Amino acid sequence: MSASQRTKGARFERAVAVALRDALHGVMVQRHGEAQRDGRGDVPDVQARGVVSVECKHHEKYANVIRELETAAQRTGPGEWPAGVVKADRKPAVVAMYFEDWLELLGAWHVATRATVGDALAAIGGTVERVD
């Protein structure tokens, strides 16, 4: 792997960690860089303690998100959902979760907020575009 590829991957991991910190107020979010991992195979790229363990990949084309999800599942801490996040150049990032975990997350969010996605986005200044 070239230095530029490692730099691109590290930059993407940092961006994922920042996005999680912004979304999960008060949750400890940690990026485990190569130096921190130091060959340990049990540490995820990014971890929001007690919430989610994330494996990240940024390539020219979309990487195998299922492989990243499976790796995250092996490195997930107690009470955390595993997630794979991949990004292709000039494309949005894509997240994969196991369906049962996604349902659990969606159900918990709905119970906590009793809101629709449109309501939630409006509360944070976002918008929803409908495609008919």
Residue 116's identity, in one-letter code, is T
Encode pLDDT of 51-100 as tens digits. 999 999 888 888 788 999 999 999 988 889 999 999 999 899 999 999 99
- The CATH 3.40.1350.10 domain(s) of the chain lie at 3-97
**What predicted TM-score, i.e. pTM, was given to this entire model?**
0.77
pLDDT score recorded for residue 119: 73
Which pLDDT score is estimated for 39?
Answer: 60
Determine how β-strand 52-59 pairs with β-strand 94-96.
unpaired
Percentage of the chain with pLDDT > 70? 83
Give how far the C-alpha of residue 122 lies from the chain's centroid of Cα atoms, to the nearest Å: 23
The 10 Å CB-count burial string (b at 16+, else e) for 67-87 is ebbebbbebbbeebbbbbbbb
Multiple choice CATH, 3-97, 3.40.1350.10, 3.30.420.10, 3.30.565.10, 3.90.1150.10: 3.40.1350.10
Burial 1-18 (b: 16+ CB within 10 A, else e): eeeeeeebbbebbebbbe
**Poorest-pLDDT segment among 25-34, 35-44, 71-80, 87-96:** 35-44
